[in-house]
Structures are given as structure tokens and as C-alpha cells.
Amino acid sequence: MTLPNLVGCGAGKSGTTSLYYYLSEHPEINMALAKEIHFFSWHYDRGIEWYEKQFPAQDDARIVGEFSTSYMLDHTVPRRMSELIPDARLLFIFRNPIDRAYSNYWSALNIGAQVSGSTFSEVIRTQEGYEKYIVGGLYYEHLQRYLKYYDRDHFFIMLTEEMKNDPIGQLSSCYKFLGVDASFQPNVEKNYNITITTDKKWKATLDQGWLDFKAVIKPMFLWIPGSFRRRFAQLEQKARISFNGAMRPEMLKDDREYLSNIYREHNEKLAQFMNRELSWD
């Protein structure tokens, strides 16, 4: 049975896509065919045999892994995961939660998951906005659910900001944690999330065309043979473009202060848990 011994659990909007592909490049690491499987959260009823099929055969792989950002937020996942893969290593990458919330909002706005008439300032001060954009950055709280089922030495936590400044060094540390060749260097110059600007007319046309295409193929995607799914996932990431009508405005100072007050205590607990300083504010 081919089941993962590495699971990336989040956080969303923190660089998980790039991290997935950097791990995929390592010759001793066999990542799942698709970047996000969501087995323990959304597809648990499909069973273990279905889950096993998401991982291509690779005899020389020391690590078999997957990355699904829904795992960090879904309260049922830690127990389910521990029952099936109790010895798995857990990988997290965390970004300044204030910036993560803002990125999450603009991403949702871009794909139509957020009403365009609602400003970020308005949304984050509602219960819906709190649950949709703020909760995802309460990292310490999410880690506590996993600590009920996994020992601390199963966790490896990375920071988005450090990955940006020193990707090779951070990945080397990750490889050491996984027990694979830490000297391997993936192509960190490759950008898996490209953002360009265009006019509003083309934005509407291109966004709608992409959404229509995704709506058609998504129900079939998990049933497509593995080799085609792997290729499609790679092509999608290479062409992952966010069409913005204008440059994303800088977050308002009042909003940053509002979120800073929410996250401060959680960040302090996380820093203590990691036994290190966090420069977020």
C-alpha cells in the first residue's frame, strides 16, 4: 500500500504551491499527482484505495507526500489522519497572518467568491469575514488540534518570509527533517504563481472563461489517469495568472492595526511554541 509519510497541511495563501513543486523536484520525494487532494477533508468517503491511487509509483522514493491546505482548517482531519498514517511527518508554512488575510480576500474577490462591493475594511469586521479570512491565520490554534494526535517532533514549520529571502537554505532544513539529501537544490527561480495586470474588459472575459473551463473539468479531474493529471496540474500552475483590473492597493493602516490586535496573542503563543522570535506585526 502506497500511503504518504509526509503531509503538508497549510496555510493557504502562504506559498504552498511553490513548496509543493520544490519538493516534487527532489529525486527522493514522491509527491501526489495533484497539488491538493483534500482526501482527509473533502474526499474521505472515497476510501483508502482511492487515496492510494493519487500517488504515482516511484521505487526509489524515501518520502511520499501530499499538500492540502484544507487540512489545517478542518477539525476532523487530525484524528482521521492519525488513524491512517500515525507516523507521518507534518509540514506547515506560515505567512504573516495579516498579509495572508489580505491576500486571501483579493484572491476570493478575483475568482468571484467575494462580493465585489464589499471592501476589505468592511468584510473583516463581520462574523462571515472573520471566519473566511481571519481564522486561517490563527496558526497556533490550528496546531493544537494536531498536537492531540502527533508528537511535536513530527512537525516542521516554515515561514513564507524566510522562504522568500533564503529558499535554498530553508529547503535544505526541510530536507534534513525529512531525511533526504539536503544538498539537492531545486529550481527556485521558477515562479509558480504569476500575477499580471490587464484592462477590465479582458479581465472579465478571461476570468469567466477560466471559471467556465474549471467548472467543466473539476468533477472529472480526480478520475483522469494519473499521468494526464500530473501534466495538467503542471500546466495549470505554469499558466496560473491572476487578472487584476488595477494594482492591488496597499492595506489601510487602520485595518492592519485592527488585525494586529486580533493576531498578537496568537502570534506570541506560536513564537513560544516554535521557540523563536517572529517579526510579524
Q: What is the pLDDT of residues 212-246, one digit of tens each?
A: 555 556 566 566 666 666 656 555 544 443 444 44
Helical H runs in the chain?
16-25, 47-52, 77-84, 97-110, 120-123, 127-129, 139-147, 160-165, 167-178, 200-221, 226-238, 253-274
Q: Please tell me which residue, 49 or 194, carries the higher pLDDT value.
A: 49
Mean pLDDT, the chain, whole residue set:
87
CB atoms within 10 A of CB 87: 8
34 within domain boundaries:
yes
Q: What is the pLDDT of residue 237?
A: 47
1 within domain boundaries:
no
281 within domain boundaries:
no
How far is Cα 201 from Cα 210, in angstroms, rounded to an integer? 14
The percent of residues above 90 in pLDDT, for the chain, comes to 72
14 within domain boundaries:
yes
The one-letter amino acid at 91: L
The one-letter amino acid at 14: S
Q: What is the pLDDT of residue 235?
A: 54
The percent of residues above 70 in pLDDT, for the chain, comes to 80
- The three-class DSSP label of residue 198 is coil
Residue 32 pLDDT level (bands cut at 50, 70, 90): very high
279 within domain boundaries:
no
Q: What is the pLDDT of residue 241?
A: 39
Q: Report angle CA 21, 70, 73 to the nearest 5 degrees.
A: 135
Give the chain's largest Cα–Cα span. 54
- Rounded mean pLDDT, 248-266: 96
Helix (H) or strand (E) holding 156: strand 155-159
280 within domain boundaries:
no
Provide, for the chain, the percentages of residues in helix, strand and coil under a 3-state DSSP scheme, each rounded to the nearest 5.
50, 10, 35
- The three-class DSSP label of residue 93 is strand
- Rounded mean pLDDT, 108-127: 88
- Rounded mean pLDDT, 14-39: 96
Place of cell 482527509: 40
Place of cell 503531509: 7
192 within domain boundaries:
yes
CATH number at residue 76: 3.40.50.300
How far is Cα 11 from Cα 67, in angstroms, rounded to an integer? 10
Q: Please tell me which residue, 211 or 131, carries the higher pLDDT value.
A: 131
pLDDT at 194 over 60: no
Q: Which of 84-98, 103-117, 161-175, 250-264 has the lowest mean pLDDT?
A: 103-117
What's the distance, CA 263 to chain centroid?
20
How far is Cα 15 from Cα 193, in angstroms, rounded to an integer? 9
Q: What is the pLDDT of residue 242?
A: 46
Q: pLDDT tens across 133-151, in order?
A: 999 999 999 999 999 999 9
How far is Cα 281 from Cα 50, in angstroms, rounded to an integer? 43
Q: How far apart are the first and last CA of the chain?
A: 45
Q: Which of 9-18, 75-84, 92-101, 203-212 has the lowest mean pLDDT?
A: 203-212
Bond from prior residue into 61 cis (ω within 30 degrees of 0)? no
Strand partners, 281: none
Split into its structural domains, the chain has a count of 1
Q: How many CA atoms lie within 13 A of 136 on its CB side?
A: 27
Helix (H) or strand (E) holding 101: helix 97-110
Strand 29-31 relative to strand 89-94, pairing:
unpaired
Q: What is the pLDDT of residue 238?
A: 43
Q: Please tell me which residue, 47 or 115, carries the higher pLDDT value.
A: 47
217 within domain boundaries:
yes
- The burial class, CB within 10 Å (0-12 / 13-18 / 19+), for 135 is middle
Instruction: Provide the residue range defining the domain that includes 175.
Output: 6-274
Q: Which of 45-59, 114-128, 186-200 has the lowest mean pLDDT?
A: 186-200
- Rounded mean pLDDT, 57-77: 94
